[in-house]
């Protein structure tokens, strides 16, 4: 039962352009969402989060958008850099629970 | 400020042996989570612990797996009588409150290979 879905396993973007990574969820109780970045052989690194009371959160080159009615969030990276090449996971949690539910990840490649 | 630490980073076991994975949370964090990542899959929640308490173990297999977080020392995930299907990356995370939610910070993981 995959409650958080990342339907694009991979994405390639030219350096300097915008990268848009998408994530959908099914549980309407989710109220906190996060994006993690993961390099091979390392643990996930926290990037940015958003609570359900907001629809946008920005941190430098990274912006997360939340569309609660569509149960959809996205991560925008602009401008994309080769060092951004990694696997990106979105995660969600509900205030009533302890678990974080992770998507299966999107592998981003930024082409120099 | 040291991050979440896990050891060993790599662990090789033969079928039937025991595997012990250790996790030290970030300084000041008292909440620990264990996740498992199988090849080509996302992270799957296993268990959530606070000091001396298992809060949620709904993601733990019913047999052979156990976890603890003693008053002193690291959290330990123990897998008894390992089988090949236990081969995976096991990640530990600890949490802090941030922006009204609870962000989890991950360790580098332990890669378990069962021969």
Q: What is the pLDDT of residues A3-21, one digit of tens each?
A: 999 999 999 999 999 999 9
pLDDT category of residue B10 using cuts at 50, 70 and 90? very high
pLDDT in tens, A11-54: 999 999 999 999 999 999 999 999 999 998 889 999 999 999 99
In chain B the first and final C-alpha atoms are separated, in Å, by: 37
Pick from A43, A57, A101: which is nearest to B91 by CB?
A43
Of all residues in chain A, what percent carry a pLDDT higher than 90?
87
Query: Is the Cβ pair A49, B33 closer than 8 Å?
Result: no
Distance from the B111 Cα atom to the nearest Cα atom in chain A, whole angstroms: 9
Nearest Cα residue in chain B from A99: B45
């Amino acid at each position: 039962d995959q409650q958080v879905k990342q339907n694009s396993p991979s994405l390639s973007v030219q350096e300097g352009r915008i990268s848009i990574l998408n994530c959908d969820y099914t549980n309407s109780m989710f109220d906190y969402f996060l994006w993690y970045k993961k390099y091979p052989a390392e643990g996930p690194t926290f990037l940015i989060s958003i609570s359900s009371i907001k629809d946008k959160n920005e941190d430098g080159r990274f912006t997360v958008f939340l569309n609660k009615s569509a149960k959809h969030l996205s991560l925008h990276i602009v401008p994309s850099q080769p060092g951004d090449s990694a696997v990106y996971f979105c995660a969600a949690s509900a205030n009533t629970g302890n678990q974080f539910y992770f998507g299966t990840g999107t592998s981003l490649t930024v082409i120099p | 400020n040291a991050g979440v630490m896990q050891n060993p980073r790599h662990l090789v076991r033969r079928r039937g042996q025991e595997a012990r994975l250790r996790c030290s949370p970030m300084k000041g964090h008292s909440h620990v989570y264990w996740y498992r990542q199988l090849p080509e899959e996302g992270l799957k929640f296993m268990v959530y612990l606070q000091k001396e308490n298992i809060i949620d173990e709904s993601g733990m297999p019913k047999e052979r797996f156990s976890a603890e977080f003693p008053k002193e020392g690291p959290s330990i995930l123990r897998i008894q009588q390992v089988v090949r299907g236990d081969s995976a990356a096991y990640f530990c995370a600890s949490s802090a409150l941030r922006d009204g939610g609870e962000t989890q910070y991950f360790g580098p993981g332990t890669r378990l290979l069962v021969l």
